[in-house]
Chain A
Amino acid sequence: MPQTPRVQLFVTCMVDLFRPRVGIAAVRLLERRGLAVEFPMAQTCCGQFAFNAGHHKEAAAMGRQLVRAFEQATPGDAAAVADVPVIALSGSCAAMVSHELPDLLERDALDRGAARATAQRWRRRAESLARRVVELSVWLERDVARVNSNPAEGSTAPTATQPGPDTVGPVPVAWHTGCHMRRLLQVTEPPIHVLEAAGAAGHELPDADQCCGFGGTFALSEPELSAAMADTKLQALATPRADGAACLVSADLGCLLQLGGRLQRAGDTYPVLHVAELVDLADQGELTPLGIARAAEARGGEG
């Protein structure tokens, strides 16, 4: 009898701290699709903040913790974890793990005076995580059908999502692809398909390939420049907004905090949603202006 397929959830520090309901939404939507969701509690942060700021020793310390966290498995079950997908709730963090971590951990081990073999071992451990990590919307597009083609997972699990009965046609939403998703993971289409399956029509912004100005510590150390870049992005957002886009959606919470925070500062309550939140809403038949507004507002109450 086939086992329930397992996935490990990599929520990212930003989702964990600032918008945990993105993680909760991800758990729900994955479970609806017949997955056994595991959350390695020892995960903290992929270290990208420190990495991008040039603090590679510090980034490596966090990176090693991430590697350890996702290696944890039930005693006697250690081999199995090597095939378990690690679903990341951020394109940028997924890119950090898949593109930078193996080099970083190897280099850092050597810098700390470790033997070649030790450094190689860190590289291999990071590479193993890098192979497993996959951004949520990519996973949803690529693997959900395969998972659900297995009848053992129960026929109630939706392959796509079922728009609510009161929905007339797809709900237009504005879609922003984060830069690392676009240029490191080279992913632009899958999230649009995921939105489609959820009953939403994703409209990219004009100048979609321009950075929103988040950039990790860049946003903290250069607030004026970063905000000017956000304002350019928000001007571009005016186009889909005028065409009726119900909210701004992205697979990266960093971009959403940046753009949402800038909107809020201007007293603008336009909703911003993580793709996990949108799919979760759609699963429940609540992908409506009201449902979206409620989901976006909930953010304020989390403090």
Chain B
Amino acid sequence: MPGVLPPPGTPWKARLAHALADTTLQGAISRSTHNLAAQRDAAYAGYARGGELRDAARAAKRASVARLDELLAECTRNVEAHGGYVVRAAGPDEVARYVLDVARRRGARRVVKSKSMATEEVELNARLEAAGLHVRETDLGEYIIQLAHERPSHIIVPAAHKTRGQIREIFDREARSAAAAPPADDSTPALTAFARRQLREAFLAADIGISGGNYLVAETGTLVLITNEGNGRMSTSLPPVHIAVVGVDKVLATWEDLGLVLQQAPLSGTGQRLTTYVSLISGPRREEELDGPEEFHLILLDNARRELLGSEFEDVLTCIRCGACLNVCPVFRTIGGHAYGSIYSGPIGVVLTPLLGGIEHAPELPKSACSLCYACRDACPMTIDLPHHILSLRVMQVRRQIEPASQRFTVALWSHLWASPGGYRRTVRLARLGQRAYLRKGRLGPVPRYLPAPGLLGGWLATRDAPPVARETFHEWWGRHRGRSDGSTGRSTLAPAVPGTDPSALAQAPAGERPAAPAADGATRAPERTERNVP
């Protein structure tokens, strides 16, 4: 059973066109991703043990995923032993129901949140707001996009697509509606100061704090949050109730494992050795403690994650959401996160979205949002084989016949013809006939409106010129100069040309006139092979 993800909204082509038309967005995305990727490279360059520690972290994470159910049970026991509540949520409905139950029981009105992809995945804000709760995002980037009524466009930098100017406009609007002083200018300190002032109020007034979780340490039942802003610590300690929504894939067996994995997200994501804050939360406030929430709830979100266990996609569960694959992806760098239509964008989103939401959910992601450049596989600290997962998802799509029948037919016919030399030759002849209508000055240029080019050719010529199929293919050239007319293979018969020899004379010379081969072994190097299919 697939899980449930937010719907993609508008169709792929519309999202794509929107992104490609927005040069401001492209500039912002390009800057953020370049900076993050450069910071990552610099962090590793200055860290002699970086690679070795990354390998150890990967092994630890994989080992934990392999024992997932056992570790979840252990984690649950330990959280409960600290006085926390643990609940398993199959999907978005269960998460929302549980949070609303707590809110009702506590008479809660106001919620503050620290950044969490899991709550984005289940669209928790919308569900809570629909039930009359006031929700305030407190991560700076999340705050910005909440005010702009958008989704995050990057796993770790939710407002990566926004410029400072745009952020100032958003804050100015918020200042007017909240009757607060607007930011002094669009400098980072001024924008941050505005957000801090507004959010301080929200923290103090909140009845419930909701967080995600980066890791769970099973052996002590500890929730680990890594942030750079400190808002996570405030969201989880100031309000009287703390609810953490955490994917089941986040569990690690031991503190030793945590020690290894903890660095990896900041190293690969932002180029830091460690995030500014690392919060370790083991249950509600105890009697001797001065602060912390009265209640602590841990919601373990499945949403189809556990179905990946034991499958070829199991390593996807080792993803630590560092965003490194997004930062190097040429497609992400071109269109940004929103065009993916999923809260998980970039290469990991292309894989995770259909795996969690079902193969029919956003089929365009595996099919269209990847050029198979393999940059993501190199960037991933967990070496998740994203390109091969994308290939596997494409194979699954083909098997389910998700693509149009015309495309299936084209590929089937094409491969049938190209699986034999004779068929290949036939397509050459056909292509030469077919391209005539589109030839202009010896090349294929823009397609006239009255004569739309079919399928694949039309796709290419929509944005690029192309050389036509050659008057003489290499096969034909070889057959004419080196082989026999029946298409036999043959060995070369040309003399080694010395520099300065006119090559066109050699290439164009009729077979009978070409220079004789001074074969070193004294044997003739005339054609001596016949085409033959070895079964």
Chain A interface size, under 10 / 10 to 19 / 20 to 34 / 35 or more: 35 or more
Chain B 234-246 interface 0/1 with A at a Cβ cutoff of 8 Å (1 = within): 0000000000000
A169 close to B (CB within 8 Å): no
Contacts of B487 in A (CB 8 A): 41
* Residue in contact with B463 in the complex, picked from A6, A33, A265, A300, CB distance below 8 Å: A265
For the complex formed, measure the closest distance between the CB of A264 and the CB atoms of chain B, giving whole angstroms: 4
The B-contacting residues of A in range 74-99, CB under 8 angstroms, are 74
Contacts of B467 in A (CB 8 A): 18-19, 257, 299-300, 302-303
Contact B415 A62 (CB under 8 A): yes
Contacts of A47 in B (CB 8 A): 415, 418
* Residue in contact with A264 in the complex, picked from B465, B503, B519, CB distance below 8 Å: B465
Contact A261 B465 (CB under 8 A): yes
For the complex formed, measure the closest distance between the CB of B490 and the CB atoms of chain A, giving whole angstroms: 7
For the complex formed, measure the closest distance between the CB of B187 and the CB atoms of chain A, giving whole angstroms: 28
Stretch of A132-140, A187-195, A218-226, A241-249 lying at the B interface: A218-226
The B-contacting residues of A in range 236-293, CB under 8 angstroms, are 257-258, 261-262, 264-265, 280, 283-285
Stretch of B46-54, B188-196, B468-476 lying at the A interface: B468-476
B479 close to A (CB within 8 Å): yes
Contact B374 A184 (CB under 8 A): yes
Complex CA distance for A57 and B455, rounded to whole angstroms? 21
Contacts of B533 in A (CB 8 A): 42, 68
Chain A 37-59 interface 0/1 with B at a Cβ cutoff of 8 Å (1 = within): 11111111101001111111111
Contact A28 B503 (CB under 8 A): yes
Complex CA distance for A261 and B465, rounded to whole angstroms? 4
The B-contacting residues of A in range 152-185, CB under 8 angstroms, are 152-154, 156-158, 161-162, 179-180, 183-184
Contacts of A261 in B (CB 8 A): 460, 464-466
Q: A74, A152, A232, A265: which has the most chain B beta carbons within 10 Å?
A: A265
A71 close to B (CB within 8 Å): yes
B520 close to A (CB within 8 Å): yes
B330 close to A (CB within 8 Å): yes
Which residue in chain B gives the minimum CB-CB distance to A207?
A: B34
A144 close to B (CB within 8 Å): no
B368 close to A (CB within 8 Å): yes
Complex CA distance for A8 and B501, rounded to whole angstroms? 24
B446 close to A (CB within 8 Å): yes
Contacts of B419 in A (CB 8 A): 44, 61-62, 64-65
B105 close to A (CB within 8 Å): no
Contact A154 B474 (CB under 8 A): no
* Residue in contact with A72 in the complex, picked from B374, B394, B531, CB distance below 8 Å: B531
B77 close to A (CB within 8 Å): no
Contacts of A126 in B (CB 8 A): none
Chain B interface size, under 10 / 10 to 19 / 20 to 34 / 35 or more: 35 or more
Contacts of A217 in B (CB 8 A): 456
B39 close to A (CB within 8 Å): no
Contact B395 A54 (CB under 8 A): yes
Contact A39 B497 (CB under 8 A): no
Complex CA distance for A111 and B50, rounded to whole angstroms? 42
Complex CA distance for A215 and B391, rounded to whole angstroms? 13
Contacts of B124 in A (CB 8 A): none
Contacts of A17 in B (CB 8 A): 428, 431, 469-470, 473
Contacts of B446 in A (CB 8 A): 265
Which residue in chain A gives the minimum CB-CB distance to B374?
A: A183
Contacts of B459 in A (CB 8 A): 219-223
Which residue in chain A gives the minimum CB-CB distance to B460?
A: A220
Complex CA distance for A228 and B20, rounded to whole angstroms? 8
Given contacts A36-B525, A58-B412, A225-B335, 13 further A-B contacts (CB under 8 A): A4-B521, A13-B424, A18-B467, A54-B395, A54-B397, A72-B489, A72-B532, A73-B529, A223-B464, A232-B330, A262-B464, A300-B443, A302-B471
Chain A to chain B contacts (Cβ below 8 Å), 17 pairs: A4-B525, A20-B470, A32-B497, A39-B483, A41-B487, A42-B421, A44-B423, A65-B418, A156-B498, A211-B330, A211-B371, A232-B330, A257-B466, A264-B465, A302-B442, A302-B472, A303-B469
Closest 5 CB pairs of A and B: A54-B394, A215-B371, A58-B415, A261-B464, A303-B468
Residues of A in contact with B (beta carbons under 8 Å apart): 1-4, 6, 11, 13, 15-20, 23-24, 27-28, 31-45, 47, 50-59, 61-62, 64-65, 68-69, 71-74, 152-154, 156-158, 161-162, 179-180, 183-184, 207, 209-211, 213-230, 232, 257-258, 261-262, 264-265, 280, 283-285, 299-303
